[in-house]
Chain A
Amino acid sequence: MNDYSNIIQVIGAMMLVSVLVTNANKTSFLNKRMIVEGEYETAVTAIAQDIMEESRALPFDEAETEGALPVNIPFDFSLLGTDSGESTTDRSEFDDFDDYDDWNGTVTTIHGDFEVSVNITYINSTTQAPTVSKSTIKRMDITISSNTLREQDQETIKTYNYSYIRSYYAN
């Protein structure tokens, strides 16, 4: 051993401590991130539930809003989306379930801003698959994202998807 052996040992020990400290910080950061994600994900779920509950309070179809029930079901149902003269952006102006189709907006809560978009599709009552034909079942797909919620790479923004199926006969 030469005169510098002690220094080399100390440097080695320091490197070891550095690795331990870095790992401890990393674990701590990951734990904290999971807690924050949990908090925000509760908010995301609440927003999705808000929209589902809100849309459920409206008639199933525009054809039901005109004072009389449709006669030929489902052929008398309207096309999906807002109808003539209706706002496409202001949810408070929506008067039936499928007016939410293609709606997107920013929902601001105590947790910040969330980007929300909604799509409605008709569902084939036999195959349960989306269809362009009118049917007695509609599915609402809600997509929510927030700048705070990201994938593991910290770059890609996470998206949360929720679906709600509504039947004309189980209104």
Chain B
Amino acid sequence: MNLNLISGSIVSGMVLLTIGMMNRGVNYNSQDITLSSIKQEQKIELSEVLSHDLPKIGYTSDNSLDTLIAYADEKSIAYYSNIDNSADGSVELVTWELTNEADVSTDNPNDYKLVRTVGGTTTNISLGITTFTLNYYDKLGGTTPLTTPLSSADMDNVKQIEVVLVLESAESIQYSQNTGEKFVKSAWVKRFTPRNLKGNG
């Protein structure tokens, strides 16, 4: 064997190894970026629905509601609102609840179904939701949330509602056999100040 053949083989092997590693890296990053993009889009869509619903707590055209919030705890809220702004002024009971029912449509063992109900019409939201936490504050800009579930007295004092939302990918990704699997996450935290809760407290 001559020197050229030996060194050529070694270098070729190194090049092949480099290309193999690069290929694995590119594949992993590609999956990571695709799943992250999907999760961010889903998060934005869900945040738009929440941003439509929650600021309308207690909304009626004639401001006639005595009870604005019917029930509130860490994982669910029920409130009254003429949410569709119907001309007859009818008020709907709106609920958001993170159920204990696992989302079996994904491979992720940590996600649950989120349920939105408006006037008895239920919508199941299966977007890989692992966290849907509601915090309630009786002071604007307050830092200490109220204890949940809220007592009826506390429900009359709520001024702000904070939503913590975390979505995870349906499938996991793994860089190599030696590294653990991971689910891609996307999170959103928003503190709502519904106008009709302004007079609370």
Contact = CB atoms under 8 A, between A and B. Distances in A.
A24 B142 contact: no
Contacts of A14: 11, 14-15
Given A42-B43, A54-B160, A28 B25 contact: yes
Interface in B146-174: 159-160, 164, 166
Contacts of A21: 18-19, 22
A53 B188 contact: no
A57 interface: yes
B142 A7 contact: no
Interface stretch (B33-41, B81-89, B90-98, B114-122): B33-41
B57 to A, nearest CB: 13
A110 B193 CA distance: 19
Interface of B is mostly: helix
Interface of A is mostly: helix
Interface stretch (A31-39, A63-71, A158-166): A31-39
A65 B13 CA distance: 78
Contacts of A6: 4, 7-8
Nearest to A38: B40
B189 A111 contact: yes
A92 B143 contact: yes
B36 to A, nearest CB: 5
B12 A10 contact: yes
Interface centre among A21, A25, A90, by most chain B C-beta atoms within 10 angstroms, is: A21
A27 to B, nearest CB: 9
A111 B185 CA distance: 11
Contacts of B187: 39, 43, 110-111
A35 B189 contact: no
B4 A91 contact: no
A125 interface: no
Interface string A3-27: 1101100110110011011001100
A126 interface: no
A56 B140 CA distance: 11
A31 B29 contact: yes
10 contacts: A13-B15, A20-B22, A35-B32, A39-B187, A50-B191, A54-B141, A58-B140, A92-B141, A92-B142, A111-B189
